[in-house]
Structure 1
Amino acid sequence: MKILIVYYSTFGNTYKMAQLIADGVKEAGGEPIIRRCPELIPENIIESRPDMKAGAEMQKDVPLVTLEDFKQADGYAFGTPTRFGNVSAQLKNVIDQLGPLWIQRVFEGKPAGVFVSTGTLHGGQETTILTFMTVLLHLGCIIVGVPYSVSDLYLTKGGGSPYGPGHIAEAENKREIDQNEANICKAFGRRLTEIAKRLKST
C-alpha cells in the first residue's frame, strides 16, 4: 500500500512533518513515498538567507515528485506551509500539472489529506487545509482528516485539528515539532494507510 507524501518546505518544518507522517504509514503496514515540490524561489535569494539555505540542504536528497509517483500511489498526503492563509506556490505549481492524470481518473476513490505549518497560532492552518479540500474534491479523492479519537487533538497547544496535522514554527521558524503535533502527524499517516487498504479491498 503506497502512500505518496508530497510537500513543499522552505525551512524544513513541513519536511519534518512529512517524515512523521511516513512513520505513521509504516506503523500501519504501508509504504511511504516522500517527494518534494520543485523550488520556485530564485537560487540567489536562497543563498543569501542562511535559514533558507539550511532548509534546502536538509532536503537535498529528497527526490522531486513526478506524475508517475501520483499514478503509483494508493493514497496521498499533501504538505505545505501557509502563504497568507493559502497553499504555497510551489505545491500549487505541482497541482496545476495534474490535469492529464485527472482526465485519466487516477485520483478517484483514493484517500487524501493535507498537513500544514505556520509561523503563528492563527496563521491560516485551517483555511489552507479547507481551501485545499476543493482541489481534492475536483480530483475525485476521498478526504481524510484526523478524528477526535486521536486524544492529542484535545491536548495540543500547537498545531493540529480535525482537518489535518499542523505545526506552529513561530516567527523565526525555529520551534521544533512538539509531542502532540508529532502524534497527530503519525495518526494521520496511519489513518490514510488504513483507509487506503479498505478502499482497495472493496
Structure 2
Amino acid sequence: MADLPILVVYYSLSGSTRNLALALARGADSVEGCEALLRTIPKVSAVCEATAAEIPDEGAPYVTLDEVQNCAALALGSPTRFGNCAAPVKYFLDSTSSLWLAGSLIGKPACVFTSTTSLHGGQESTLLSMMTPLLHHGMLLCGIPFSEPQLNGTHSGGTPYGASHVAGHNNNTQLSAEEEALAFAQGKRLAELALRLKR
C-alpha cells in the first residue's frame, strides 16, 4: 500500500514560513506509512497581465487542486498580514470551491501554521482565520496539545492553535529550538491522525 500523502502547503517570502513547513514535513515523514508532500503558493499581483512561471525558480512546486483533493491530510501555512493570512493564501483558498461542492475534503485532518515579525503580531488571529475555510470544507482541525513540553516553555513562537515563528525586526528566519520542535510535533500529529482515520 502506498504511503498516505500529507500535503504541506505554504506561502513564504522571507523563508520563515517555509522553515516551519519543512519542520512540519519532517514530522509527517517520521510517521511510518505517511509521506509529506511539500508545496507552495504563488504570489498574486495587482497587475492583471502579470503571470508567474508554472514552476517556481526555487523551493517547492506550486500546489494543485488535484493534490489537495487527493491528500490524506493538509497543513496550511502563511505569514501574518495585519492579523490575517497573506493575500495569496486567501486567493488559493478561494479557488477551492470545486472541492467544497464535491465534498472532497470532508473528514480529512488539517492544521495551520504562521510566522510574524513581532511577538504580538497577530499569530493567533491569523491561525484562526485560516481555520475558518477549512471548517467550511468539513476538515477536522488539529492543534498542538499542552502535553508538548515546549508549548509551556517557549519564549518565541508556538501556540495551541498551530506552530508559529517570531522572526523579529532583523528578519531572523531560523527557527528557535522550541519552534522547530513544536512544528515537528504538529506535523507528526497530523500524520498520525490521518493514519488513524484511514484505518
Q: Which amino acid aligns with 1:14?
A: T
- Residues 141-160 of structure 1 show CA distances to partners (whole Å, capped at 9, x for unaligned) of 00110001111001111111
- Residues 109-135 of structure 1 show CA distances to partners (whole Å, capped at 9, x for unaligned) of 000010000000000000011122211
Aligned to 2:140: 142
Contact 2:6/2:72 (CA < 8 Å) preserved in 1? yes
TM-score normalised by the chain length of structure 2: 0.90
Contact 2:19/2:174 (CA < 8 Å) preserved in 1? no
Contact 2:16/2:167 (CA < 8 Å) preserved in 1? yes
Q: Which amino acid aligns with 1:34?
A: L
Aligned to 2:85: 87
Aligned to 1:154: 152
Deviation at 1:39, TM superposition (A): 1.3
Query: Is 2:190 the partner of 1:186?
Result: no
TM-score normalised by the chain length of structure 1: 0.89
Aligned to 2:37: 33
Q: Secondary structure at the match of 1:82?
A: strand
- Residues 163-197 of structure 1 show CA distances to partners (whole Å, capped at 9, x for unaligned) of 00000011132252110000000000000000111
Contact 2:15/2:173 (CA < 8 Å) preserved in 1? no
Flag the 1:146–1:177 CA change in 2: closer, same or farther, 3 A. Answer: same
User: Separation in 2 of the partners of 1:83 and 1:14?
Assistant: 13
Aligned to 1:171: 169
Q: Secondary structure at the match of 1:157?
A: coil
Aligned to 1:47: none
Aligned to 1:16: 19
Aligned to 1:52: none
Aligned to 1:49: none
**Number of aligned residues:** 187
Which one has a larger percent helix, Structure 1 or Structure 2?
Answer: 1
- The gaps in structure 2 that reach 5 residues or longer are 48-55
Q: Which amino acid aligns with 1:62?
A: A
User: Separation in 2 of the partners of 1:169 and 1:163?
Assistant: 18
Equivalent residue runs for 1:45-124 within 5 Å: 60-124=58-122
